[in-house]
């Protein structure tokens, strides 16, 4: 049975941060292996790879930039995801330990990762990627889900 004890809210916060930390870690892993495949450092039949590098090349390709531009954008996303994953793991640990500054750690982590979804939505618009089926809807859904997570850390 669910209770409304003071600890139940902290448990929900920890579980949500754990989910996002795992999610960003998995996405970072599949995007990193995709980058390694694109660089020829992994075999082409490597299964755990996102396929997102090809999508980025397609999306930015509407403006016919040099090939390295897609690589630069993709690298930026990998770095952003890595920073987000590290901050989410740190926020999860702080929440589990109930350190004095655990809400600030959560706000910091979620601000970074919410910023990533916001940047994707802006890029979708700039590169007309909303024409790709489901892409913008996915980014928007993840943005809303993370904002929902942020709300469970509001001051009581």
User: Is 111 domain-assigned?
Assistant: yes
Q: Is the pLDDT of residue 53 over 90?
A: yes
Residue 2 covered by a domain: no
SS3 for 75-110, per residue? HHHHHHHHHHHHHHHHHHHHHHHCCCCHHHHHHHHH
Looking at the domain assignment, is residue 38 inside a domain?
Answer: yes
Tens-digit pLDDT profile for residues 62-114: 999 999 999 999 999 999 999 999 999 999 999 999 999 999 999 999 999 99
Q: Give the model's pLDDT for residue 93.
A: 97
Identify the burial level of 36 via C-beta atoms within 10 angstroms of its C-beta, where 0-12 means exposed, 13-18 middle and 19 or more buried: middle
Domain assignment of residue 66, yes or no = yes
Instruction: Check if the beta carbon of residue 80 is closer than 8 Å to that of residue 116.
Output: yes
Backbone angles phi, psi at 127, to 5 degrees: -95, 10
The string of pLDDT tens digits covering residues 10-30 is 899 999 999 999 999 999 999
In a domain, 46, yes or no: yes
51 part of a folded domain: yes
Decide if 1 is inside a domain.
Answer: no
Tell whether the torsion through CA atoms of 22, 86, 108 and 154 is positive or negative: positive
**What is the total count of domains within the chain?**
1
Distance (Å, whole) CA 22 – CA 28: 10
pTM of the model: 0.91
The domain in which residue 76 lies consists of 7-151
Residue 35 domain-assigned? yes
């Amino acid at each position: 049975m669910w209770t409304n004890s003071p600890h139940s809210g902290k448990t929900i916060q920890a579980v949500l941060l754990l989910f996002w930390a795992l999610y960003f870690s998995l996405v970072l892993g599949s995007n990193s292996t995709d980058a390694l495949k694109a660089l020829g450092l992994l075999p082409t039949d490597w299964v755990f790879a996102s396929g997102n590098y090809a999508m980025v090349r397609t999306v930015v390709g509407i403006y016919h930039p040099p090939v390295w531009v897609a690589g630069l954008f993709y690298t930026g996303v990998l770095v952003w995801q890595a920073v987000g994953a590290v901050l989410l793991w740190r926020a999860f640990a702080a929440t589990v330990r109930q350190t004095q500054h655990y809400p600030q750690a959560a706000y910091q982590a979620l601000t970074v990762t919410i910023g990533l979804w916001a940047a994707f939505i802006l890029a979708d618009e700039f590169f007309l990627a909303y024409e790709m089926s489901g892409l913008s809807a996915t980014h928007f859904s993840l943005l809303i889900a993370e904002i929902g997570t942020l709300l469970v850390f509001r001051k009581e």
